[in-house]
């Protein structure tokens, strides 16, 4: 079945949506981790920064697990080629995410300054490395990598470190950092909030230039391959316009609108890359005949039908649950919220929805 409305296209679109959800939600987590050593002038600030994403970061990573699982089930050939060819890069991302998760849980287990300093470094590198490498990975997927007739990756690690992919990594690193700075300006109070705003203003001057250059480079690559008709121009143009508006929104103290703008721009940039790919899932720089597409990389029709039924039933439940989590922990944090609860009775005695800090494990 080669028409537009088919299960292969549905699952390609759904996987794209899952990656959009992951980058939008985990993006501000990465940004907070990257900014931790620069905004955390003392232990109180650092605890506030970590606590700001305490209730969210592990839930946000579910989007990554779901995207990986959906790729494995719907497009096993894509999964096999991607994970074998990009093995080292994806392994580094996995290690970084594990180390970061451990750091969130263990930094508050000991009062030693050195102990917490080491875990703070782990949070920084565990956030910065994935923020960079995800852009490199997707840059290579769109730009093309050596793939032979058997759909096997024939390049090396150096093949993945090409200028376009590295610039894609710089773009994701920059916009995630900006996303995190604006998130912090929404989640904190007082002097820390002002410093987050100032950082967002400074980063907001650089990021639009990088995003514009990256999307322009992407368009030139598509033009060179006669693929300019695949991506509607309004999508990347809208992404650039939104990023340009962000520093003005921050200066006007419209952090909510600024956060919505960074989230939507990340979504549009990711959509641009997936639309650039369709109906391919990986581009072969060796020969276009060796491209992986939604047709030659997909599972059987029966498998896609069963998966579609499960996804239609369970996806709304997951979205409602995660939305409720964000609603419950929507309040700003300040130093007054850092005092730990003395016992579970005190926790139960607090009115539901009272403005209190989300405590990460050990904090």
Task: Name the pairing type of β-strands 292-293 and 280-282.
Answer: antiparallel
The per-residue pLDDT for 340 is 58
Q: Which of 9-23, 167-181, 217-231 has the lowest mean pLDDT?
A: 217-231
More confident residue, 363 or 321: 321
Q: Is the pLDDT of residue 346 over 70?
A: no
More confident residue, 217 or 4: 217
Question: What are the residue ranges spanned by the domains of the chain?
Answer: 24-349
The per-residue pLDDT for 98 is 95
Q: What's the rounded mean pLDDT across residues 180-209?
A: 94
Residue 267 dihedral angles phi and psi, to the nearest 5°: -60, -45
pLDDT one-digit tens code per residue, 42-92? 999 999 999 999 889 988 999 999 999 999 999 999 999 999 999 999 999
Q: Which of 217-221, 244-248, 262-266 has the lowest mean pLDDT?
A: 217-221
Buried b (16+ CB within 10 A) or exposed e, 51-90: bbbbbbbebbbbbbebbbebbebbbebbbbbbeebbeebb
The per-residue pLDDT for 334 is 75
Q: How many CB atoms lie within 10 A of CB 317?
A: 9
**Which residues neighbour 269 within 8 Å (Cβ) at sequence distance 6 or greater?**
171, 175, 211, 214, 215, 236, 239
Whether this prediction's pTM lies above 0.85 is answered by: yes
The per-residue pLDDT for 341 is 44
């Amino acid at each position: 079945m080669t028409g537009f409305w088919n299960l292969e296209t549905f699952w390609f679109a759904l996987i794209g949506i899952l990656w959009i959800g992951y980058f939008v939600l985990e993006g501000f987590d990465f940004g907070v981790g990257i900014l931790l050593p620069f905004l955390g002038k003392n232990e109180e600030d650092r605890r506030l920064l970590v606590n700001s994403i305490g209730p969210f970061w592990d839930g946000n990573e579910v989007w990554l697990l779901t995207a990986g699982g959906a790729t494995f089930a719907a497009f096993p050939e894509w999964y096999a080629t991607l994970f074998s060819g990009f093995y080292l890069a994806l392994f580094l991302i996995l290690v970084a995410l594990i180390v970061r998760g451990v750091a969130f849980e263990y930094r508050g287990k000991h009062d030693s300054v050195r102990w917490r300093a080491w875990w703070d470094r782990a949070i920084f590198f565990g956030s910065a490395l994935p923020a960079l490498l995800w852009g490199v990975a997707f840059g290579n997927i769109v730009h093309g990598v050596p793939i032979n007739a058997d759909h096997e990756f024939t390049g090396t690690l150096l093949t993945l470190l090409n200028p376009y992919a590295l610039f894609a990594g710089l773009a994701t690193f920059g916009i995630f950092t900006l996303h995190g700075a604006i998130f912090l300006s929404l989640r904190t109070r007082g002097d820390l909030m002002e410093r987050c705003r100032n950082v967002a203003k400074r980063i907001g001057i650089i990021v639009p230039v990088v995003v514009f250059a990256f999307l322009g480079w992407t368009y030139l690559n598509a033009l060179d391959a006669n693929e300019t008709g695949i991506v509607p121009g309004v999508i990347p143009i809208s992404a650039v316009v939104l990023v340009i508006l962000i520093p003005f929104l921050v200066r006007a103290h419209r952090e909510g609108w600024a956060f919505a703008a960074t989230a939507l721009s990340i979504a549009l940039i990711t959509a641009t890359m997936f639309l650039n790919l369709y109906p391919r899932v990986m581009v072969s720089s060796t020969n276009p005949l060796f491209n992986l597409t939604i047709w030659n990389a997909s599972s059987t029709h029966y498998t896609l039908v069963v998966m579609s039924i499960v996804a239609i039933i369970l996806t709304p439940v997951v979205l409602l649950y995660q939305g409720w989590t964000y609603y419950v922990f929507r309040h700003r944090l300040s130093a007054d919220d850092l005092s730990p609860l003395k016992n579970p009775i005190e926790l139960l005695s607090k009115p539901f929805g009272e403005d209190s800090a989300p405590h990460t494990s050990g904090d």
